[in-house]
Chains A and B, each alone.
Chain A
Amino acid sequence: MPDATIAQPRRSLALPRVNTSAVVMTLYLLFLMLPIYWLVNMSLKTNSEILGGFSLWPQEPTLRNYRVILTDASWYMGYVNSLIYVCMNTVLSVVVALPAAYAFSRYRFMGDKHLFFWLLTNRMAPPAVFALPFFQLYSSVGLFDTHIAVALAHCLFNVPLAVWILEGFMRGVPKEIDETAYIDGYSFPRFFVKIFMPLIASGIGVAAFFCFMFSWVELLLSRTLTSVNAKPIAATMTRTVSASGLDWGVLAAAGVLTIVPGALVIYFVRNYIAKGFALGRV
């Protein structure tokens, strides 16, 4: 039943009815949006305007900063690199996590609880601890500065997370469905792909969303493992520090552009966000 239809008590005082929830949410969203707005604002200004005076919106809006990024390969390749390893990581994490999550949700086997906790500990491992060993490991096997190196490194925290999320969703699917499918003569792989995966489609979506998110926002490992060819956009941003000082406008524009893929992903999954954040555990 919509809230609005629930009878409201009559206020005895003739105060104007203030919707406190709306006020709280407005203030909170304002708090969230102001810093982002400021970045967008700056990205549309010239450097001289940024440093010259203070204004709440661009006096002479310019797209110069965006043009700099989108016409310079060393800039925009950063986005391409980031997207490549993020997508590789997302696919890899979900694909290996699917059978494992199924095993955890359906069977008891030797050491299952310990294994599950051990997997989770990797989600808890500080990237800073792994930065140097990763650098040495991938250098020694010749993977340094490749997309796959970053994708593999991010599996460290994304695979356990994907297993955890998917296990939660799979637990919600009744076991009888598996049994019926086997009785109907489905082989395990066919059952898994044709019947089971569609049932947990939203779970797969949520897992993919989280893998995308954590891989996209991580910087320490991706910067450590790359130098030129696979350098992520987030690391490229440090370039704006040059002899002539910071190029604030370009920095802001680059920042705004890193928000765009995330915003797009959120827009597509907006109807699943609430359920997704509960990781299938509600």
Chain B
Amino acid sequence: MDKPTNHKAWFLVLPVLVLVAFSAVIPLMTVVNYSVQDTFGNNRFFWAGLEWFEEMLRSERMWNALGRQLIFSATILAIEVPLGIFVALNMPKRGVWASVCLVLMSLPLLIPFNVVGTIWQIFGRVDIGLLGYTLDRLGINYNYTQNAVDAWITVIVMDVWHWTSLVALLCYAGLQSIPDAYYQAAKIDQASRWKVFRYIELPKMAGVLMIAVLLRFMDSFMIYTEPFVVTGGGPGNATTFLSINLVKMALGQFDLGPAAAFSIMYFLVILLISWVFYTVMTNLDRKGG
């Protein structure tokens, strides 16, 4: 698109800039400030240079949290993206049932994070939860507070429950934009179901699918409340993801310096990965438009 150059447009952006600067830049400066200082309490700080960063890079705890985080994000993406596409393909295209599906599917998206945690905390309990009770009755030994594998499964199923609909709804929006003539032409060309998906549906979904992957990646990488409510990061540190680790450090132990250094690296990792996504996405946008 050929847009005219107009530097006065800055004035239109100014309110956003001021607001975001207040809510993002100032706090971020505080973090940077902490990350290079040490304190012995009483609000007295000393220059510590890159010491905290070095300490964090050597910290096994952080590497373990990062590892868990990557496995978690990769797992939920690997489940939610194909499942979301699959669900979108099976949704009714129009009529009352389409509305019913849309409303019911959106419901989990608007539940506060800690309530999501609470729901699954209850649902999985062996004594009062439907899931836990049923599994227990079936003779499956399931206990998410004791067993690390069970805790992981619970947290992942919870995330799939919570967010697959977002992927599905985005894909559904992409599918809705395909004119009927494409499906009719495919029938006449005798294309198989797979080819219809591969050459008609998938290309039309590519744009929104990128948004879905980006959103899901970012949000899963920052996940805090839901697993914290269910497992508290345990058993042990089995489900201590990056954010949980950070909050434990910053608000729990008040290790401000290491926490700040950790924050910055955490943010940079997200930024880097998101930048890659963003670049790929805008390239796709340009090719598509």
Contacts and interface: CB of A to CB of B under 8 A. Distances in A.
Q: In their complex, do chains A and B touch, with some C-beta pair under 8 Å? A: yes
Interface of A: 1-3, 20-21, 24-25, 28-29, 31-36, 38-39, 42, 50-51, 54, 56, 92, 95-97, 99-100, 102-104, 106-110, 112, 115, 117, 119-134, 136-137, 152-153, 155-156, 159-160, 163, 171, 213, 216-220, 224, 233-235, 237, 248, 251-252, 255, 258-259, 261-263, 265-267, 270-271, 273-279, 281-282
B118 A129 contact: no
B81 interface: no
B222 A24 contact: no
Contacts of A273: 102-103, 106, 169
Contacts of B101: 25, 29
Nearest to A252: B122
B256 A270 contact: no
Given A35-B120, A277-B172, 13 more contacts: A3-B93, A32-B161, A95-B15, A99-B16, A107-B6, A120-B274, A152-B19, A217-B113, A266-B107, A266-B110, A270-B103, A271-B99, A281-B208
Nearest to B32: A133
A218 B131 CA distance: 26
Given A128-B222, A159-B20, A160-B20, A216 B211 contact: no
B132 to A, nearest CB: 10
Nearest to A135: B251
B28 A133 contact: yes
Nearest to A110: B7
17 contacts: A21-B92, A25-B87, A25-B90, A28-B90, A32-B104, A107-B3, A109-B10, A117-B275, A123-B218, A126-B270, A129-B246, A133-B31, A137-B27, A213-B110, A220-B243, A255-B119, A259-B107
Contact of A129 (B26, B31, B115): B31
B208 A119 contact: no
Interface in B236-279: 242-244, 246-247, 250-251, 256, 259, 263, 266-267, 270-271, 274-275, 278
Contact of A132 (B92, B93, B169, B251): B251
A190 B111 CA distance: 38
B106 to A, nearest CB: 5
Interface of B: 1, 3-10, 12-13, 15-17, 19-20, 22-24, 26-28, 30-31, 86-87, 90-95, 99, 101-115, 118-120, 122-123, 127-131, 133, 161, 165-166, 169-170, 172-174, 176-177, 180, 207-208, 211, 218, 221-222, 224-225, 242-244, 246-247, 250-251, 256, 259, 263, 266-267, 270-271, 274-275, 278
Given A108-B3, A137-B27, A255-B115, A265 B110 contact: yes
Nearest to B89: A21
B278 to A, nearest CB: 6
Interface of A is mostly: helix
B208 to A, nearest CB: 5
B110 A133 contact: no
B31 A20 contact: no
A155 B112 CA distance: 17
B251 A131 contact: yes
A20 B90 contact: yes
A129 B86 contact: no
B30 A136 contact: yes
Given A54-B128, A119-B20, A220-B225, A124 B270 contact: yes
A115 B13 contact: yes
Contacts of A35: 119-120, 123, 130-131, 161
Contacts of B259: 132
Contacts of B222: 124-128
Nearest to B4: A107
B173 A213 contact: no
Given A1-B180, A100-B15, A282 B271 contact: no
Contacts of A136: 30
